[in-house]
Structure formats: structure tokens, C-alpha cells
Amino acid sequence: MSSERDLSDPLAEAVEEFNRHEGRDDGAKVAACLADALTIVRQSTYDRVHRDVEREVGADSMLMPISETKTRRRTTLEIEVFQIAESAAAARELGYTSGPVEWYVEWLSALRIPPRELDRKFHQQCLQYLAMSADERRLAFSDALGRVLPESRQSPLVLFRLLPMAVRIATAAAFGDRTTASGLRREQIALLPVIADCQECHGELLESARQCPLCGNPLWKYGWLTEVG
């Protein structure tokens, strides 16, 4: 890497730390792919549990947040906590990185979260998720999201089954594990077969920075989540 890189850039810092810790030289690819893919998944999750619900179900005045900006911030942080923990669980189970999983949590947190939001409580939440089983983690996340964004409870339940796999696909792809990513996509299609019917992407794995404009792949739009035929 160039000695002139901007170390105030979280991505540049993540690349340097990854290469140092892992003794590798592909940190730029891993960090960039993770950053791109997890950003799409986070933004899509927020759209699914907020904008899609309000558009398809309607806005309940009893559930409307007092401050849209504050609620968005709290919701996106809850999504990020879950994403980081789920990605860390995948990295631990599949041996993508060396050393304790706590290092990966701290590394990915620094890449994903603004410094002002990073504190001991954030890391504790990630580690609490990691101490749970996959099902427990998914249910705990759904409950946590419901507390900060009550309308999310009206989202199709299948969303919360597809989301962890979307995070794991992003993680596997970033580490070059196409076999695992493809297997997880097959699991998603088995869960929601209509995924494969999209005339734009055909339910295929996309590059980390891409999202299907028609169905929403890697996290599908409300109409697809509720399609049963």
C-alpha cells in the first residue's frame, strides 16, 4: 500500500490492520467487499422494516417515532450490531481469520461504525449476540429492532430468516468462499422460491456493490417477501 494513504479513512485503517494481523496482502479486497455488501444489506433492512411497511401496511400514528432522525440512527445501529455479530460468527465457524473472534468484532466495528458511536456497550452487545445460537440471535435481534422501531414487527417474518444468510453470504464472498456463499443462496431460495423467478437477476449472487433494482437482491422487497406462488 502507498505510504501516502489517509489513515483517517476507516477503510485504509481496516486494510492496514487486517494485513498486519493476518499476515496477508489482500486486506483491501476483503475490507472493501465487506464494506460495500454490508452497507447494502443494512440500508435494505432499514427500507424493508420501515419504508416498505409504511408503504404497504400504512403508518400507524401510535407507532410513529417522535424523531425520524433519531429513530433512523438507533435502528441502523441495531442492524449494524447484528450484522457484525453474524459476520463474526461466520468468520469464527468457517475459520476466515486467525486468533480470537473478539479481534474480528473490533476490526469490523471500526470499519462499520463512526468512532463517536463505538463504546464498550456496543462491543458487549456484539459479544452477547455471539454467545447465542443462530436462532436465539435472530429472535433477539427481531425483539431489539421492535423496541427501537415498533413498526418493524409488521415486517414479513421471512425477512428475519433471510437476513442472517445475507450477512453470511457477504462475509463468505469477501473472503473468497464462493462455495459457502452459493450454498447459502440455495438455502434462501429453498426458503423463498420466488427469489429465483426475478427476470433481472434470476436470484443469482451479485457482486458486493450491486443490488438488483427489480427484486432487491441481496435482501428482497416487500412484494417478494410476501409472494407465496
Q: For residue range 73-88, what is the model confidence (pLDDT) as tens digits?
A: 899 999 999 999 999 9
Residue 70 gets which letter from DSSP? H
Does the structure show a pLDDT above 60 at 119?
A: yes
Q: Answer whether 89's CB lies under 8 Å from 3's CB.
A: no
Query: Which amino acid makes up residue 177?
Result: D
Q: Which of 12-26, 57-71, 119-133, 203-217 has the lowest mean pLDDT?
A: 57-71
Instruction: Give the integer Cα–Cα distance in Å for 145 and 49.
Output: 9
Percentage of the residues of the chain whose pLDDT score is greater than 90: 76
Question: Are the CB atoms for 108 and 122 separated by under 8 Å?
Answer: no
The answer, as to whether pTM is greater than 0.75, is yes
Rounded CA separation 91/68 (Å): 34
Q: d(Cα 94, Cα 174) in Å, to the nearest integer?
A: 13
Q: Which DSSP symbol is given to 47?
A: I
Helix ranges restricted to H, 47-177: 52-56, 68-94, 101-112, 120-130, 134-148, 159-174
Q: How many Å separate Cα 143 from the centre of its chain?
A: 17
* More reliable by pLDDT, 1 or 228: 228
Would you say residue 14 has pLDDT above 90?
Answer: yes
> pLDDT: is 165 or 2 the higher one?
165
Q: Give pLDDT, residue 44.
A: 96
> Quick check: 108 and 88 in contact, CB under 8 A?
yes
Does position 23 have pLDDT exceeding 90, yes or no?
yes
How do residues 44-62 score in pLDDT, each as one tens digit?
999 999 888 877 776 554 4
Domain ranges of the chain: 10-225
Q: Once rounded to an integer, what is the mean pLDDT over residues 189-210?
A: 95
Instruction: Calculate the alpha carbon distances from 224 to 121, 143, 197, 220, 229 in Å.
Output: 36, 23, 10, 6, 10
CA distances from 169 to 25, 34, 44, 193 (A): 22, 10, 15, 17
Residue 109 has pLDDT above 90, yes or no: yes
pLDDT for 1 beyond 60: no
